[in-house]
Amino acid sequence: MALTGWHTRTTPYPSPATFTPTRASLAFAVLRNAQADPEGFTLALFSPDLAVDARGKVLLLQKTDWDGLVGLAGETVDLPKTGKFWNAWKVRQERTSQPIDRLLVATSESGELVETSVQGWEKGKTELSEPVGEIAQLPPVLDELVGLVREGREGYVKGEEDKIVIGKIKDVLGVE
C-alpha cells in the first residue's frame, strides 16, 4: 500500500482529552519554520499508533501507515550531516526565505532527537542549492518523507488549531 493519503485514512482518537504525549512514546515530530509561521507545527507520531496533525487533532493511524512513516523517518538518521543550521538540506529555489520542515526523530538507543531539515521542499524539485559532500540532489527518503508529512497540514487554518495539544507536544520536544 502506498503511504500517500495516510492522513485521510486516519480515524479520530476516541478520547483526545486523555491524550498525554511523552518523550518515551515519541517516534518523530515535524516543525515548520516559515515567515508566516515561524514556530509552526506539522505533525508528531507517538507509539503505538497515534498522530497529531497541524490542527492539533489526535488521530489513530493504520498499522501500515505507521510502519511506513516511522520507517522513513528512521532512515533519515543515517544521512550525511550537512554542517548547516538545523542540519538543513537546501533545495534550489528562485526565491529566498523558503519554509523549512524540521524533522526530529527519536532514536531508540538514547532517546535523543536527531534533527534533519529540508528548506524549500517542493514536489518534483530535488536539486540542492549547495551539494552536501558529493550529493547534489535531495536524498529520495527526504523528498518522499517531507511530501508525506505535509499531509499533516491538510485542513489547517492558522489560529484555529488546538493550541493546548500542540503546546503539550512542543513541551515534550523542548521547543517553544
User: Chain-wide mean pLDDT for the chain?
Assistant: 94
The domain spans of the chain are 6-13+21-169
Is pLDDT above 60 for 1?
no
Comparing C-alpha atoms, which of 66, 30, 68, 25 is closest to residue 47? 25
Is pLDDT above 80 for 176?
no
**19, amino acid identity:** F
Nine cell digits for residue 31: 516543525
Is pLDDT above 80 for 111?
no
Residue 33's Cβ-side half-sphere holds a number of Cα atoms within 13 Å equal to 12
What is the CB neighbour count within 10 angstroms for residue 104? 21
C-alpha 76: how far from chain center: 11
> pLDDT (tens digit, 9 = 90+) per residue, 44-87?
999 999 999 999 999 999 999 999 999 999 999 999 999 999 99
Torsion angle of C-alpha atoms 16, 18, 22, 24, degrees rounded to 10 = -100
User: Does the reported pTM lie above 0.75?
Assistant: yes
CB 98 within 8 A of CB 119: yes
Comparing C-alpha atoms, which of 158, 153, 34 is closest to residue 98? 34
What's the pLDDT at 109? 65
> pLDDT (tens digit, 9 = 90+) per residue, 77-106?
999 999 999 999 999 998 878 999 999 999
Sequence-separated (6 or more) residues with CB below 8 Å from residue 169: 21, 29, 41, 44, 52
**What's the DSSP call for residue 61?**
P
What's the pLDDT at 37? 82
The position carrying cell 495539544 is: 165
Strands 113-119 vs 88-90: parallel, antiparallel or unpaired: parallel
Is pLDDT above 70 for 171?
yes
Comparing C-alpha atoms, which of 11, 13, 23, 47 is closest to residue 168? 23
> pLDDT (tens digit, 9 = 90+) per residue, 140-153?
999 999 999 999 99
d(CA 132, CA 127): 11
- How far CA 126 is from CA of 67, 76, 174, in Å, comes to 25, 16, 31
What's the pLDDT at 47? 95
